[in-house]
């Protein structure tokens, strides 16, 4: 694979960008080598600056669920663009997408739009604290909720990959109210709840995607809903990754639970910077201007971003691709497991709808600790061979692969071929 121009830009980029990137995972530290610089993308494909074409299973870490530059979405964006870029006043599109979002989450009467998943979650926490008049929150190891101070503890992929145990610059005071529990372990939640009085909220990725994909067991999640309700603790479901991806109504619809506060991002903006948090009226009335919890944003509800979000959600609703996603993911799972078996490689595949992760491990992956049994050296070999064979994957064992609605039969064949070759390369290098 010729990555000459990517290398050139990677070196040049070091001068005025930090590590030549604007988000650390893009620097490929955990897989080494030259990060791809992208020229453009269309449909299921992404093309780098050296003109290599790849089937895109990163999809900008989730948002591009319809593939790149869907015609109908592009048309809506261009139409909005002609009316102006931002007004500092509410425009009609915001009302429209607010209704669409509230209609898809039964527990949501009102919603507030922001500019990123990070912002959605940090606002949701403030809201939970304001509403309950309590300070403490419980989060789970391996779950990532954006980079706000209070949540940068035991926070999954970006940090595991970089081996940073949290982050420098986060004052102890900022995390003193953050309690940690273990995913799929209800006792660890009960222990915290029994120890502390003033818990405002439990926050969780209802299907975890930031330690690789990890599914909640049914009992754990329904028990979690039950105890939080009993104790007057708000349950915040961070559906920034899963909202509109697992199902139109997010993981909640599939798991049959209802959040007190739901956080959204990624797919909801269709590729533009959008986040949102919403809840029933009683809770949302705490937010200014109705209540005393302050949260604002110059570009929040940006008309172009809203137009892109509306068009994306509309198309998703119409296509209802969720069964098809399962079929495609199952096929890819079979390719992976068969190739692993053929080459005597230990592999676990976790998947849910259009999110999936193969783990190079012999253990079931059910939480952060088991995820870390994965052999990241094998992943590294696998990753670069997939790139060589035209499949663009997230550059970390602990990130989810994403599917789009436009993956073709031919793409699937090519994915199968790439997996076969790459798994063999892993065996050749690592099986002794």
Is 209 a binding residue for ligand PLP by CB under 6 A? The answer is yes
317 as an active site residue: the answer is no
Is 396 a binding residue for ligand PLP by CB under 6 A? The answer is no
Is 245 a binding residue for ligand PLP by CB under 6 A? The answer is no
Residue choice 202, 224, 241, 419 for contact with ligand PLP (CB under 6 A): 241
144 as an active site residue: the answer is yes
- CB nearer ligand PLP, residue 237 or residue 366: 237
Residue choice 145, 225, 245, 351 for contact with ligand PLP (CB under 6 A): 145
Alpha-carbon gap, residue 110 to 102, rounded angstroms: 7
Annotate each residue in 66-105 with x if it binds ligand PLP (CB under 6 A) or - if it does not, as one string. ----------------------------------------
Residues binding ligand PLP: what is the number (CB under 6 A)? 15
Alpha-carbon gap, residue 319 to 317, rounded angstroms: 6
- CB nearer ligand PLP, residue 234 or residue 425: 234
Is 274 a binding residue for ligand PLP by CB under 6 A? The answer is no
238, 260, 367, 411: the catalytic one is 238
- CB nearer ligand PLP, residue 98 or residue 204: 204
- CB nearer ligand PLP, residue 77 or residue 263: 263
Enumerate residues 105-134 that contact ligand PLP by CB under 6 A: 116-118, 121
29, 266, 378, 380: the catalytic one is 266
Residue choice 27, 175, 200, 240 for contact with ligand PLP (CB under 6 A): 240
Is 157 a binding residue for ligand PLP by CB under 6 A? The answer is no
Among 39-47, 141-149, 352-360, 377-385, the segment contacting ligand PLP (CB under 6 A): 141-149
Alpha-carbon gap, residue 374 to 143, rounded angstroms: 17
28, 54, 144, 244: the catalytic one is 144
Enumerate residues 276-315 that contact ligand PLP by CB under 6 A: none
Backbone angles phi, psi at 139, to 5 degrees: -125, 165
Residue choice 205, 367, 375, 399 for contact with ligand PLP (CB under 6 A): 205
Among 77-85, 166-174, 238-246, 342-350, the segment contacting ligand PLP (CB under 6 A): 238-246
Is 265 a binding residue for ligand PLP by CB under 6 A? The answer is yes
Residue choice 48, 56, 182, 238 for contact with ligand PLP (CB under 6 A): 238
Among 94-102, 144-152, 252-260, 405-413, the segment contacting ligand PLP (CB under 6 A): 144-152
In three-state form (DSSP H/G/I as H, E/B as E, the rest C), the secondary structure along the chain is CCCHHHHHHHHHHCCCCHHHCCCHHHHCCCCCCCCCCEEEEEECEEEECCCCEEEECCHHHCCCCCCECCHHHHHHHHHHHCCCCCCCCCCHHHHHHHHHHHHHCCCCCEEEEECCHHHHHHHHHHHHHHHHCCCEEEEECCCCCCCCHHHCCCCCHHHHHHCCCCCCCCCHHHHCCEEEECCCCHHHHHHHHHHCCCEEEEEECCCECECECECCCHHHHHHHHHHHHHHCCEEEEECCCCECCCECCHHHHHHCCCCCEEEECHHHHECECCEEEEECHHHHCCECCCCCECCCCCCCCCHHHHHHHHHHHHHHHHHCCHHHHHHHHHHHHHHHHHHHHHCCCCCEEEEECCEEEEECCCCCCCCHHHHCCCCHHHHHHHHHHHHHCCEECCCCCCCCEECCCCCCHHHHHHHHHHHHHHHHHHHHHHCC
266 as an active site residue: the answer is yes
Q: Give the footprint of ligand PLP on this chain (CB under 6 A).
A: 116-118, 121, 144-146, 205, 209-210, 238, 240-241, 265, 275
Residue numbers annotated as active site? 144, 238, 266
């Amino acid at each position: 694979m010729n990555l000459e121009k990517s290398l050139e830009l990677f070196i040049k980029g070091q001068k005025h960008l930090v590590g030549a990137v604007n988000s650390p995972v893009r620097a490929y530290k955990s897989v080494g080598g030259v990060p791809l610089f992208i020229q453009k993308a269309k449909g299921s494909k992404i093309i780098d600056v050296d003109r290599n074409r790849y089937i895109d299973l990163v999809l900008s870490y989730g948002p591009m669920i319809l593939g790149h530059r869907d015609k109908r979405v592009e048309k809506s964006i261009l139409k909005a663009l002609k009316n102006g870029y931002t007004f500092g006043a509410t425009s009609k599109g915001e009302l429209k997408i607010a209704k669409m979002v509230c209609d898809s989450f039964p527990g949501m009467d009102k919603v507030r739009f922001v500019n990123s998943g990070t912002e959605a979650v940090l606002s949701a926490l403030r809201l939970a604290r304001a509403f309950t008049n309590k300070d403490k929150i419980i989060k789970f190891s391996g779950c990532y909720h954006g980079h706000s101070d209070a949540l940068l503890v035991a926070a999954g992929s970006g940090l595991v990959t970089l081996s940073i145990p949290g982050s420098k610059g986060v004052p102890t005071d900022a995390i003193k109210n953050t309690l940690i529990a273990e995913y799929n372990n209800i006792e660890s939640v009960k222990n915290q709840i029994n120890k502390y009085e003033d818990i405002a909220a439990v926050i969780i990725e209802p299907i975890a995607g930031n330690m690789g994909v990890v599914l909640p067991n049914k009992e754990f999640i329904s028990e979690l809903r039950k105890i939080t309700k009993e104790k007057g603790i708000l349950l915040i479901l961070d559906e920034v990754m899963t909202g509109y991806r697992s199902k139109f109504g997010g993981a909640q619809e599939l798991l049959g639970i209802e959040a007190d506060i739901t956080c959204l991002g990624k797919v909801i903006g269709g590729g533009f910077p959008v986040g949102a948090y919403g809840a029933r009226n009683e809770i949302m009335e705490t937010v200014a201007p109705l209540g005393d919890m302050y949260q604002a944003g110059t570009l929040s509800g940006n008309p172009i971003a809203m137009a892109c979000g509306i068009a994306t959600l509309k198309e998703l609703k119409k296509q209802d691709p969720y069964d098809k996603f399962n079929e495609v993911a199952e096929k890819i799972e079979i390719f992976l497991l068969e190739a692993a078996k053929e080459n005597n490689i230990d592999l676990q595949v976790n998947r849910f709808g259009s999110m999936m992760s193969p783990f190079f491990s012999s253990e079931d992956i059910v939480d952060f600790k088991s995820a870390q049994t994965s052999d990241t050296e094998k992943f590294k070999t696998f990753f670069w061979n997939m790139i060589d064979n035209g499949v663009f994957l997230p550059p970390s064992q602990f990130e989810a692969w994403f599917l789009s609605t436009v993956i073709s039969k031919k793409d699937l064949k090519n994915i199968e071929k790439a997996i076969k070759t790459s798994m063999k390369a892993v065996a050749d290098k690592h099986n002794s």
